[in-house]
Amino acid sequence: MANPHTNQPAHVKHYFVSSEQQFDAAKMGMWLFLVTEILLFSGMFVAYTIYRSWHPETWMALSTALDWKLGGLNTLVLLASSFTVAMGINQIQRGNQKGLLLNLILTFVFAGVFLVVKYFEYSAKIEHGLLPGAAFDPHGISHGFDYATYNVPYGPQFFSIYFVMTGIHGFHVLVGMGLFAWITWKAKNGAFSAEYYTPVENCGLYWHLVDIIWIFLFPLLYLI
Amino acid sequence: MSQDHGHHIIPVKMLYAVIGVLVFLTVLTVALAQVELGVFEVPVALAIALTKAGFVVMIFMALKWDNRVNASILAVGALCVLIFISFILIDTEFRGDLSNTTEGTIMDQQRVEQAMEGREPERSDISFNRQ
């Protein structure tokens, strides 16, 4: 499968010296993109910092409105998906296409589980009026607990920040599922090998970043 | 250079060890949230989250064995975040303390204020004025 003009493997574009150079260039581009993602989320973390530092009592009161069990479960699910991505890359580096395929499917499933859990969390919040801004109206009784006690000053701001941060993170998970569906399909058709697995590497880097964002969101929103 | 002979393959054993550490740190941060830590609550939670992120970046994202240029790109991003958060905290935590632009130091002013308070007559001594 070599290019007859350059004596390079078929996946190497003519403007690269080698497969290695092409891989490094793609990966560096991915890291640059990840930094823009970090900056996107840092704006929201700054908003979080301002409101938390001015109204710590609101943050402490309303972090209990979020279910740490579901949040913790989702943390473990995302950690597991990061692990399967790393395992998949390990497998394809050894030339094991089936091992890669299995790990990519597992990653896709874990991402789906994350969104299903998030769906149940959001439904409970919407049902009891724990909503952002003007829509904030805690009401209803569940398991003997009166949600009206969550009606504290600056509660609307807390839930604005909660929904924007977890919403944009959830959107990234959705995009990640699309990416993993795409590379899983490619992997099934045998597109990747120990010599060429750049899309797997870069989608993996993206996925790890989505995991890292959640590593910070979980304690900051659910626990403290 | 080793890179010319293919990429660094992270041993499966190490991947298992890292996921073990990450799960342990998740359990630890949940457990510590149930304990009353006072002012250390946020720093402890952030320290654990940073440690977890460090393991993901270094091992899962393989930055430890990667081209150094990628590490410096990440470092620039992290530096920006640090600047954003720390400058915001300087504002939110110390607003008012820093906007004092009158002559003399804050300690000078406090000394004058205390001297003035010392000269303030008792309320009962000036009550005849009100009648």
Give, in degrees to the nearest 5, the angle at Cα A169 between A32 and A117: 145
Percent of chain B with pLDDT over 90: 53
Flag whether pLDDT at B51 surpasses 80: yes
Query: How many structural domains does chain A have?
Result: 1
A38/B3 CB distance under 8 A: no
Give me the CATH number covering residue A131.
Answer: 1.20.120.80
Q: What is the reported pLDDT for B50?
A: 96
Beta bridge partners, A2, equal: A9
Q: What is the reported pLDDT for B131?
A: 46
For residue B3, name the pLDDT band (cuts at 50, 70, 90). very low
Query: Quick check: B1 contacting A, CB < 8 Å?
Result: no
Q: What is the reported pLDDT for B71?
A: 95
Mean pLDDT per 10-residue segment, chain A (224 residues)? 69 86 92 96 95 91 91 95 96 93 97 96 90 86 82 91 96 97 95 92 96 96 92
| Domain assignment of residue A14, yes or no | no
Question: What's the pLDDT tens digit per position in B94-105?
Answer: 876 665 666 677
Predicted-complex ipTM score: 0.89
Query: Quick check: B61 contacting A, CB < 8 Å?
Result: yes
Cα dist. A51→A44, A158, A160, B40, B113 in Å? Answer: 11, 8, 11, 18, 33
B66/A27 CB distance under 8 A: yes
Q: What is the reported pLDDT for B4?
A: 44
Q: What is the reported pLDDT for B1?
A: 36
Q: What is the reported pLDDT for A106?
A: 97
Query: Quick check: A49 contacting B, CB < 8 Å?
Result: yes
CB A134 within 8 A of CB A156: yes
Interface residue of B60, B73, B79, B95 to substitute, partner A, most A CBs within 10 Å: B60
| Domain assignment of residue A55, yes or no | yes
| Domain assignment of residue A70, yes or no | yes
By Cβ distance, the residue of B12, B23, B52 closest to A215 is B52
| Domain assignment of residue A159, yes or no | yes
| Domain assignment of residue A13, yes or no | no
User: Domain segments of chain B: what residues?
Assistant: 1-66, 67-115
Query: Quick check: A9 contacting B, CB < 8 Å?
Result: no
A205/B9 CB distance under 8 A: no
Q: What is the reported pLDDT for A5?
A: 65
Q: What are phi and psi for residue B64, nearest 5 degrees?
A: -60, -35
A24/B33 CB distance under 8 A: no
Q: Which domain holds residue A181?
A: 37-223
| Domain assignment of residue A168, yes or no | yes
Query: Quick check: B56 contacting A, CB < 8 Å?
Result: yes
Query: Quick check: B30 contacting A, CB < 8 Å?
Result: yes
Element (H, E) at A175: helix A155-188
